[in-house]
Amino acid sequence: MVGKILDVFGKQKFVNVMGEKRGNTGKLENPYNDNGVLEVYHEEIEQWIRVTSREFRSWGGKRRITEYRYPYRQPTEISMYEYTGPVFEYLTNKIINKPSKGVNGSRPKSQSTYSERI
How many folded domains does the chain comprise?
1
5 assigned to some structural domain: no
* % of residues, the chain, pLDDT over 90: 28
93 assigned to some structural domain: yes
To the nearest 10°, report the CA torsion of 29, 32, 35, 41.
-110
The residue among 68, 36, 31, 67 whose CA lies nearest residue 52 is 36
| pLDDT, tens digit, 9 for 90 and up, residues 28-75 | 889 998 889 999 998 888 999 999 998 899 898 899 999 998 888 888
What is the reported pLDDT for 70? 87
| pLDDT, tens digit, 9 for 90 and up, residues 68-114 | 988 888 888 999 999 999 998 888 888 888 888 777 765 544 455 55
14 assigned to some structural domain: no
The pTM is what?
0.68
10 assigned to some structural domain: no
